[in-house]
Structures are given as structure tokens and as C-alpha cells.
A = this chain, B = another copy of it.
């Protein structure tokens, strides 16, 4: 299984946002919605063996983590509003605590921060990878990133504090290519690399 963590520094932590203004008053929620599309969609199918963890750090109730699980996920369409509606439903729950609760099939929400999430993954022996332009080329380390946990930032990248935490806990930094890309585009490139590894292994 692959896990993708996407950090939304300004993404609001209330269900009161408008699906008509996700880039504005919802704090660039559109970025997180596009990442959900990239994590899960195949042509006429969903990727099942994958999860997305949205870390929302905007007002008024940060931090919130919304987890999407491909195996259980329902009611997701490819458009931004569809992912936005599932995020909204999760944030609308009024009993959110550090214990995860389910909002819709395949979607859970809780109060938790980046360190908590990374501790859980490293506790399970999972390898964490961080994307940076000066990282190792994805194509050189394909097998090593199988079952990886991938951390991606929003339009603001990662703060210095977050980057220090991630570098301390990560197995390595990765680059997807010569140009700097949006998080949702990086996810497509990671998936493609891993799809190719998977097929190679089946055909061997």
C-alpha cells in the first residue's frame, strides 16, 4: 500500500466553506481536492491499495487529518467539487477528537498533527519520502519506494519546522523530474513509476 500525506497550510478546518470558492475563502482547498483525484483515479476505476491523508492547518480548528481509504471509498467523482463535498462532510461532524470517526464510507477525520501521523507510520516500519527538487530521481529508486509514505506540500511548500521534522524521520528525498510541479502532478508520476514496477514484477 502507498500512503500520501498532503499538507494544506491554509485549508479551513470547518465544514462551513463554500464549494464555489475553494481556492479563496476555503484556503486553497482546491489543491487538496486535486490531490484526492490524483491519488485515487484510474480510467473507469479507483485505485484500491492506497490512502490519502489531508492535513488541514487553517482556521478555526487546526489541526485536522482527513483520511481517505481506497478500498472502502465511495461517492467520489473526479471533479474538485466531489472531493470538496466529502471533505466538507468530514469537517461538519461536531464530535471530532483525537479518535478517528467515519464521516462517509472510506473517509475518516480526527484531530492530529504531522508528528503524530509520522510517528504512526514509522512505528509500523513504513518508509517516509519527501519531495524536493534536489532529491534523488524517482526513476533511480523505483523498487525502494514501494509501500512508501509520500509527503507533499501545498502552494506554500513545507515550513522550516515541518521540513526539519520530515527530514529527521524520512528515508530520503525524491525528485520527480527536472521541473518543479504541483503536488497533484507529482502523485501521478509516483503512481506511474510504481505501476511500472508492479507490472515488471508480475511479468518476471
Contact = CB atoms under 8 A, between A and B. Distances in A.
Q: How many identical subunits does the complex contain?
A: 2
Given A22-B79, A30-B79, A177 B189 contact: no
A79 B195 contact: no
Contacts of A188: 181, 185, 188-189
Nearest to A181: B43
Contact of A185 (B22, B38, B155): B38
A42 B186 CA distance: 11
Given A37-B34, A188-B185, A42 B79 contact: no
A140 interface: no
A19 B37 CA distance: 19
A142 to B, nearest CB: 12
A140 to B, nearest CB: 12
Interface residues of A, number: 35
A199 interface: yes
A189 B38 CA distance: 12
Given A192-B176, A196-B178, A185 B41 contact: yes
Interface string A2-23: 0000000000000000011011
Interface string A169-204: 000000011111110010011001001101100000
A22 B34 CA distance: 15
A27 to B, nearest CB: 13
Given A38-B185, A41-B182, 16 more contacts: A20-B81, A22-B79, A23-B77, A23-B78, A23-B81, A42-B180, A43-B179, A44-B155, A44-B180, A80-B80, A80-B81, A177-B192, A179-B195, A188-B188, A188-B189, A189-B192
